[in-house]
Chain A
């Protein structure tokens, strides 16, 4: 199983809502990543978790709050987002942070903030 599963596939939320994006992998990977991708732009790294601990935070606003409850799950909690936060949010995993460069990406969650 080389799959990274993200739910939901689509999400529409208001600026006062709280929602969560979920990501799951069962490959035994110990590094997990969140990316944000705007239309016609490259994916931008947001967070990296290594062995369930936050390893890298790319100065992401606090309205995005990541959580790694166990080695298979990664969540991204969203609160008080702005319309400019609308994007495709991608989750990825790899064996270990820095072991090699092969990461497996999910299909993403298409987020629209209204």
Chain B
């Protein structure tokens, strides 16, 4: 199971772009990278998933370099409501005992200020 490392916390201001980087040095060939958002007293919410290069959806972009040992979640023009914990996960979609396990690391607490 690939371990992930993220900054414990980040601060930003409304309207800014926020980039949260996750390190996953021992990612395996068939692992996918996924990000979740969690507000207090709620379940996590899926944001985006990727394997390599760049993925974009209506909420965020995910940048993955060629060596796949890190990834960056980019949130454009954040607002106060984006204050939450953001989790980076590396998920085995190939097979084996860890197949499909969604294992959460420590996450990054993002605080958006007015």
Please report the C-alpha to C-alpha distance between residue A102 and residue B46 in the assembled complex, in whole angstroms. Answer: 6
The A interface, classified by DSSP as helix, strand, loop or mixed, is strand
B43 A98 Cβ-Cβ under 8 A? no
Question: What residues of B have a CB within 8 angstroms of the CB of A44 in the complex?
Answer: 104
Residue interface mask B78-114, A partner, CB < 8 A = 1: 0000000001010111110001111111110000000
A42 B105 Cβ-Cβ under 8 A? yes
Contact of B41 among A43, A56, A101, A108 (CB under 8 A): A108
Contact of B93 among A45, A90, A91, A101 (CB under 8 A): A101
Contact of B92 among A91, A96, A98 (CB under 8 A): A98
The B interface, classified by DSSP as helix, strand, loop or mixed, is loop
A100 B87 Cβ-Cβ under 8 A? no
Question: What residues of A have a CB within 8 angstroms of the CB of B103 in the complex?
Answer: 45
Question: What residues of A have a CB within 8 angstroms of the CB of B49 in the complex?
Answer: 100-102
Q: Which chain B residue shows the least CB distance to A100?
A: B49
> How far is the CB of A36 from the nearest CB of chain B, in Å?
11
Question: What residues of B have a CB within 8 angstroms of the CB of A102 in the complex?
Answer: 34, 46, 49
Q: Which chain A residue shows the least CB distance to B96?
A: A98
Instruction: Count residues on chain A whose CB falls below 8 Å from chain B CBs.
Output: 29
> How far is the CB of B21 from the nearest CB of chain A, in Å?
18
Chain A to chain B: the 6 pairs with minimum beta-carbon distance, closest first: A105-B43, A98-B100, A101-B34, A42-B104, A97-B100, A102-B46
Question: What residues of B have a CB within 8 angstroms of the CB of A96 in the complex?
Answer: 100
Question: What residues of A have a CB within 8 angstroms of the CB of B104 in the complex?
Answer: 42-45
B42 A101 Cβ-Cβ under 8 A? no
Given A42-B87, A98-B93; A48-B46 close (CB under 8 Å): no
Please report the C-alpha to C-alpha distance between residue A105 and residue B103 in the assembled complex, in whole angstroms. Answer: 14
Please report the C-alpha to C-alpha distance between residue A97 and residue B96 in the assembled complex, in whole angstroms. Answer: 12
Please report the C-alpha to C-alpha distance between residue A100 and residue B43 in the assembled complex, in whole angstroms. Answer: 18
B43 A107 Cβ-Cβ under 8 A? yes
Question: What residues of B have a CB within 8 angstroms of the CB of A45 in the complex?
Answer: 101-104
